[in-house]
Amino acid sequence: MSQPVAAPPTAARLTAWRNAVFAIFALSGLTIASWVARLPAVRDELHLDTEAVGLIILGLSAGSILGLVVAPHLLAKLGPRRGIVFSLTLNAIGLAGVGISAAVLPEPALTTVFLAVLGFGNGSLDVQMNVEGAASERAIGRTLMPLMHAFFSFGTVIGAGLGAAASALSVPVSVHLSVMAVFIVIAGIVAVRFIPQTVDVEDPSTSAKTPFRLRVKESLAVWADSRLLLIGLIILGMAFAEGSANDWIALATVDGHHQDNTTGALMFGVFVVAMTVGRVIGGPILDRFGRVPILRLSALIGAIGLLTFILAPALWSAMLGAVLWGIGSSLGFPVGISAASDDPKTAAARVSAVAIIGYVAFLAGPPLLGFLGQHFGILNALFVVLVLLVLAAIVAPAARERTGRFAR
């Protein structure tokens, strides 16, 4: 529920608020990377084939979509501090549960349930941290969202590195993920102390004054916009490229390129480092050259990297492919979200719509690639991603900047 607006915060409080949001983004990335880096170990503990891995990852995707839908109501009900801590706690329960259910109580169905909890926590956190990030950005008066998303990538880099180290040192997956879960909760509780207690009263998704029927009508109306649907296709292709690496690059390295689990975790680390670099340097490049050429170039780089990874005859060439794949995938989702929000009057509904389209990639991708990987090999299954990258490049003009909009 909206609360009275307090006096303008001081510069020190604004800086602390910004840094707290940075930390929340990083914790979200750390959560996901911790799980992905140990996916080969979880697979081995549960004795799963490739298709079965795709099915348990489906639990993560389904939970994420449910969390995305519920998040605005959760934020309005609990407020930003309690809402974020609640979501981070679910992250921790899901993460620790995955490790314990795989290594101590090897049961795929139970692991799927914990992955759904993890997905719900991170999906709901995704919306809340972006709302809070936008609010702090407005209060500070500078563009900060690209850097906030880079902190998510920093978190994935740290998580991938710790996961690779844990694998190399033969740390049981149950111990590793449980320790990470405890850290995530403690760090989250510390960080939210510097976030204002009130919900951003200007955000329509959390405003109690907007009638529910009107919110539903506005949300449905945007789906008739053909430009928005094309932007959704861009996000679908780019999210599939990013999500397929998050879910499968470690296993593709192990099963497709015949490397050990530690090398699989390191390959995931190479990918997320490249993603992070792309997001850090992407803002100025977008400002100079515009969305459409950069989206097309990104899709081309991603396609070349993916093809190099699939066909790599040696480990070094697979790593080069992972680098290009990561750079090419880094800007598609943020640029698509930015394009969807060009019209401030319907920005919330439009961003929600394309985000749902993007999450379809995370929902359908794991079982689809798992099925194809089981029957044709995981590396051959990745050719589907190549097709979607080409599609994103073709429809890139839909993301062209609107006249008068501030370009990042």
> CATH number for the 225-401 domain, one of 1.10.357.10, 3.20.20.140, 1.20.1250.20, 1.10.3720.10?
1.20.1250.20
Q: Tokens for 72? A: 């605005």
Question: What pLDDT band is residue 183 in, cutting at 50, 70 and 90?
Answer: very high
Residue 217 burial by Cβ neighbours in a 10 Å radius (0-12, 13-18, 19+): exposed
**pLDDT reported for residue 1:** 44
Would the pLDDT of 3 be above 50? no
Please say whether the beta carbons of 164 and 11 come within 8 A. Answer: no
Bigger pLDDT: 132 or 349? 132
Model confidence pTM above 0.85? no
Please, which pLDDT band fits residue 261 given cuts at 50, 70 and 90? confident
Considering only residues 234 and 209, tell me which one the structure prediction assigns the higher pLDDT: 234
| Interatomic CA distance for residues 62 and 117, integer angstroms | 10
Contact by Cβ (8 Å): 31, 91: yes
DSSP for 370-401, please give it: HHHHHHH-HHHHTHHHHHHHHHHHHTGGGGPP
Residue 215 confidence (pLDDT): 55
- How large is the average pLDDT for residues 351-363? 72
Whether the predicted pLDDT of 378 surpasses 50: yes
Q: Which of 265, 337, 325, 24 is nearest to 151 (CA)?
A: 24
pLDDT digits (tens, 9 = 90+) for 32-43: 889 888 888 888
Residue 33 contacts residue 160 (beta carbons within 8 Å):
yes
Tokens linked to 170: 């033969």
Fold identical between 1-210 and 225-401?
A: yes
Question: What per-residue confidence (pLDDT) applies to 222?
Answer: 64
Round to whole Å and give the CA distance between 10 and 14.
Answer: 6
Which residue ranges make up each domain of the chain?
A: 1-210, 225-401
> CATH second-level architecture of 1-210?
Up-down Bundle (1.20)
User: Hey, is 303 helix, strand or coil?
Assistant: helix
**How many CA atoms are closer than 13 Å to the CA of 151, on its beta-carbon side?**
19
* Contact in structure between 38 and 167 (CB atoms under 8 Å): yes
Q: Which residue has the higher pLDDT, 203 or 236?
A: 236
Taking a C-beta distance cutoff of 8 angstroms, is the pair 188, 129 a contact?
no
- What residues contact 232, with CB distance under 8 A and at least 6 apart? 336, 353, 354, 357, 358
Which pLDDT band holds residue 218 (cuts at 50, 70, 90)? low
The answer to whether 167 and 41 are in contact (CB under 8 A) is yes
Structure tokens at 343: 């019209």
On whether the CB atoms of residues 379 and 252 are closer than 8 A, the answer is yes
- Which pair of structure tokens corresponds to residue 184? 């995530």
Confidence of residue 56 (pLDDT cuts 50, 70, 90): confident
Contact 165, 34 (CB under 8 A): no
Give the whole-angstrom CA distance, residue 142 versus residue 240.
30
Residues 6+ apart with CB under 8 A from 339: 231, 234, 291, 398, 399, 400, 401
pLDDT at 319: 94
- DSSP readout, 89-107? HHHHHHHHHHHHHHHTS--
User: 69: which residues sit within 8 A by CB, 6+ positions away?
Assistant: none
Highest mean pLDDT of the ranges 17-21, 90-94, 195-199, 238-242? 90-94
